[in-house]
Amino acid sequence: MTAGRVALITGGSNGIGAAVARRLAEDGWRLVLADVDAERGTALAAELEGAFVRCDVREPADSAAAVAAAVDGFGGLDLAFLNAGVASGCGLDADFDPEKYRRAMGINLDGVVYGVRAALPALRARGGGDIIATASMAGLTATPFDPIYGANKAAVVGLVRALGPAHAGEGIRVNALCPSFADTDILVPLKAHLEETNFPILQVGDVVAAFLGILDGDDTGEAWFVVPGRESGPFKFRGVPGPR
Ligand SMILES: NC(=O)c1ccc[n+]([C@@H]2O[C@H](COP(=O)([O-])OP(=O)(O)OC[C@H]3O[C@@H](n4cnc5c(N)ncnc54)[C@H](O)[C@@H]3O)[C@@H](O)[C@H]2O)c1
């Protein structure tokens, strides 16, 4: 039973966030789209009879305002999909750029932290709910093409693994969605190379299906891989050695 439930989607104006928004709207969810892209976000929110909030996820007050829009406009919050993200656009060698570094860490990691902080009280007030953060396969495997992206996505995976058990007792599930390369705007700079090397690219619908798998499940604190040709599921980390 999802009709009337309320979701906040950061990075909801385009790509994976917009596709998830469309799918949730079909199931009767009320939606708040929070993004820096006001043009696309406003149009999509109108189409889905939701709300658009201009939100730079690097700013804690913007995430708080986006949650407030869900609570004030639709009566509460049941799901926070913390999905806004960017490639870093720089490496750690001669190509290092401190502004690009801070921007990528700010959006991909701080944005999730501030989104969680803003969402928790509203989810608690509802008696529980879901937080799903978009990390990436870059958070589970080595990404020499963008080490800064690999670092902030691994941090999101670590955050979610910690938050899952921390909030399980109050019915708030926290999971990470970890897609491989998917056909959205973020992939544009890499797409020609992937095609030349015949590396399979996910369709956005595959990512939406994995998202729904997380939402429909009971797990918490898990990082779900989304890889072409495989059924998505929680990545099983090898247990770390404990003290002897
Ligand atoms: N497409 C892929 O290959 C892929 C793979 C793994 C993970 N991801 C992750 O999926 C998420 C969604 O990306 P996408 O593939 O849909 O790309 P996208 O570029 O289509 O969407 C990203 C969205 O984030 C928004 N955004 C950027 N900066 C923002 C900010 N400061 N505050 C709020 N919103 C901001 C953009 O306006 C855009 O709407 C990202 O976290 C990305 O890292 C993508």
Q: With CA atoms as reference, report the closest residue to 177 among 195, 204, 151.
A: 204
Could you identify the atom of ligand 1 that is nearest to the CA of residue 201? 3
pLDDT of residue 2: 58
Domain locations along the chain: 6-226
| CA-to-CA separations, 174 to 147, 163, 205, 221, 222, in angstroms, rounded | 25, 6, 22, 5, 8
Task: State if pTM tops 0.95.
Answer: yes
Condensed to tens digits (0 to 9), the pLDDT of residues 78-120 reads: 999 999 999 999 999 999 999 999 999 999 999 999 999 999 9
Q: Give me the architecture of the 6-226 domain, per CATH.
A: 3-Layer(aba) Sandwich (3.40)
User: What's the whole-number mean pLDDT along residues 196-207?
Assistant: 94
- How far, in Å, are 76, 163, 231, 232 from residue 169 at the CA level? 20, 11, 29, 26
Q: Is the CB of 57 under 6 A from ligand 1?
A: yes
Active site residue 149: yes
87 CA from centroid of ligand 1 (Å): 8
pLDDT, tens digit (0-9, with 9 covering 90-100), for 33-64: 999 999 999 999 999 999 999 999 999 999 99
Nearest CA to ligand 1 atom 23: 11
- Distance from Cα 3 to the centre of ligand 1, integer Å: 27
Q: Check pocket membership of 221 for ligand 1, CB cut-off 6 A.
A: no
- State whether the beta carbon of 133 lies less than 6 angstroms from ligand 1: no
Q: Is 113 in the pocket of ligand 1 (CB under 6 A)?
A: no
